[in-house]
Amino acid sequence: MIIIDGKQYDIGAKNFENLEQVFSKVVADGHLEDRIVTDVKINDEPFTEIYPHQSEDIAMSDVDSLEIMTMATSDMAVEITLELYKVVNLMSAGGKRVAELFRQADDAEALETYQDLIDVIRSFLSMVGVLRDEYSLKNYQEYTSSAEEMNTMFTEMNSVLENEDWILLADLIEYEFLPAVEKWKKVIKCLRDDIRGSKN
């Protein structure tokens, strides 16, 4: 028995050799169009592939029940914006911590934390860019100005970093970076509103 999002789906599962073939059929029949698989249960047990194409190794003769749970990609995108909001708070806390460490002359720890912060910011900006390209229907001035401000700040912070002026870097983070980070909350809200609007 195969169930997709609570509805029975009859394709004669026993006519398929392995789970991979069933998944391919589900995709071919359009059941996953504009949807993302969130959970899979085989015989009421959660299933996640440990290695690529593991589903090829699962014989359908061993499968009594298969349940696939999905979520609309737009709903998933809204969920991601909620996570991005949390990331803004993390970037803010990370920035405060870096500035604090530089002021305490704990340069090694500060530089390590600063590098982690930069990695988080890059991932954050990349994800916002992907969502904006995929869903955002409006050209928000807030996004453009926030992205430009962040780029300018990166350049400035990098040159200060090269000069090893830790106190100036702490000042930049505290008085310019932190307020700039807060502006992203409004950008994310606009993006979330756009995604919700695109579903209607």
Angle at 34 between CA 29 and CA 40, to 5 degrees: 70
- For residue 70, being part of any structural domain is answered with no
Paired tokens of 14: 């026993």
Say whether 160 sits in a helix, a strand or coil. helix
- For residue 97, being part of any structural domain is answered with yes
Per-10-residue mean pLDDT for the chain, 200 residues long?
Answer: 82 78 85 84 89 86 87 83 90 94 90 91 86 72 83 88 91 92 88 76
Domain termination site, one of 40, 64, 88: 64
Is the same domain home to 87 and 153? yes
Is the same domain home to 95 and 147? yes
Is the same domain home to 11 and 100? no
Domain termination site, one of 29, 64, 99: 64
Per-residue pLDDT, 76: 83
Q: For residues 189 and 45, give the distance between their C-alpha atoms in angstroms, rounded to a whole number.
A: 37
Per-residue pLDDT, 14: 67
Domain count along the chain: 2
Per-residue pLDDT, 196: 80
- For residue 69, being part of any structural domain is answered with no
- For residue 41, being part of any structural domain is answered with yes
Query: Rounded to whole angstroms, what are the CA distances from 181 to 63, 96, 121?
Result: 50, 11, 10
Is the same domain home to 59 and 79? no
Q: For residues 167 and 178, give the distance between their C-alpha atoms in angstroms, rounded to a whole number.
A: 16
Neighbours of 52 (CB within 10 A): 7
Per-residue pLDDT, 104: 92
Per-residue pLDDT, 148: 87
Per-residue pLDDT, 133: 78
Angle at 163 between CA 159 and CA 169, to 5 degrees: 70
Domain of 56 in residue numbering reads as: 2-64
Is the same domain home to 8 and 54? yes
Per-residue pLDDT, 35: 84
Sign of the dihedral defined by the CA atoms of residues 24, 28, 29, 31, in that order = positive
- For residue 134, being part of any structural domain is answered with yes
Q: Which of 120, 146, 118 is nearest to 132 (CA)?
A: 146
- Which residue type sits at 82? L
Q: For residues 98 and 173, give the distance between their C-alpha atoms in angstroms, rounded to a whole number.
A: 8
